[in-house]
Amino acid sequence: MLKFLLAGCVLVFPAWCYAKPQTLILQKQKITLAQRDSLCTQLKISCQADATWQLYQAPNQSKHHYVIAQLQLFELERSTQGFQLRKLWDFSGYPPLSQTPHWTVEGPSEKEDLLDEHGNFVRADALHLYPVLFPINDTDYSIALIQRWDEMYSGGGMTEEVADFLQLKPEGKYQQVFQNIPFSVSRMIRACFSEQDYAQSNEQCHDLEKLVLNIEYLQANTWRMKYHYMRTLSPASDQQPINQRQNYLLNTNTADAIQLPRAWTTY
């Protein structure tokens, strides 16, 4: 008769007890002024009032903490003496050469103001690190380095994010594992242009679009990318609503690995 652990693992067949590594959603932590000053000194990061760095804790790991300061990731260990730096990854020299927006402008991203094909103002914002560690194999994690594009136009606007995933390696080294991955979209488009539009819309005068991504680890260097795209419409809109999901198996590092449905990116 087989014996089972509470978690459902079979004692007779230990291989069955394999548990997939879990995504670590880093949790923001509050710190005292003294702790903040200590971290600024130790990590050599800004303590100015406008500094945007943040301290995080890994889920269910009371000693493991991280600081994300611009494009630097610090791994810390907490003890009774305070926080001690264990590892540092500096991505400030990383060039996201293949990152391109899918909803806004064509071509590679640039650190300057742009105009899209419709004459709308577009800004390619600075890169940032997303505070989640994604498993890439049984022992290693990766982090998403994201670039955001903001598009602004009369009566609406859009934010789009594209990610490269970088595997964290020893001694501060890292390696790109996936590139140019659509990460998120949020768009609001004006739909009312006449008094009749406003009257029939009941003050709902914008079409709203949203792209959400969930990532499931399957095995080493293989993820299932779960996209959910939603387009909800104003009563005055002449577009078609969309509420669709699409899954992709991601196991190759090419800039065109994810090809979203054309209906999602065409308005």
Q: Are residues 188 and 58 in the same domain?
A: no
pLDDT score of 17: 52
Assess whether 144 and 235 both reside in one domain.
yes
103 located within any domain: no
81 and 198 housed in the same domain: no
Question: What average pLDDT values come out for the chain (267 residues) when binned by 10 residues?
Answer: 38 55 94 92 90 92 91 93 93 92 60 46 67 97 95 85 97 97 93 81 86 97 98 89 97 96 89
Same domain, 121 and 72: no
User: What residue numbers bound the domain in which 135 lies?
Assistant: 113-265
pTM: 0.84
Tokens found for residue 166: 């970088």
Residue 4 lies in a domain: no
Please check whether residue 154 is in contact with residue 206, taking contact to mean a CB–CB distance below 8 angstroms.
no
Give the whole-angstrom CA distance, residue 31 versus residue 215: 30
Q: How many CA atoms lie within 13 A of 173 on its CB side?
A: 4
Q: Is residue 5 part of a domain?
A: no
Tell me the three state secondary structure of residue 252.
coil
DSSP letters for 166-187 = EEE-GGG-EEEEEEEEEEEEEE
Domain boundary residue among 44, 75, 90?
Answer: 90
Of 75, 90, 105, which closes a domain?
Answer: 90
Q: Is residue 193 part of a domain?
A: yes
Return the pLDDT at 2. Answer: 36
| 126/70 same-domain check | no
Give the β-pairing of 54-57 and 64-69.
antiparallel
In-domain check, residue 98 = no
Is 139 part of any domain?
yes
**Residues 197, 233 within the same domain:** yes
Domain contains 2: no
Within a domain: residue 1? no
Statement to judge: residues 72 and 201 lie in one domain: no
Residues 82 and 166 in one domain: no
Give the residue from 179, 100, 109 showing the smallest Cα distance to 142: 179
pLDDT at 105: 56
The last residue of one of the domains, among 28, 59, 90, is 90
Q: Report pLDDT for 52.
A: 87
CA dist., res. 8 & res. 122, Å (int): 52
Residue 116 pLDDT? 45
- Same domain for 170 and 253? yes
Overall number of domains in the chain: 2
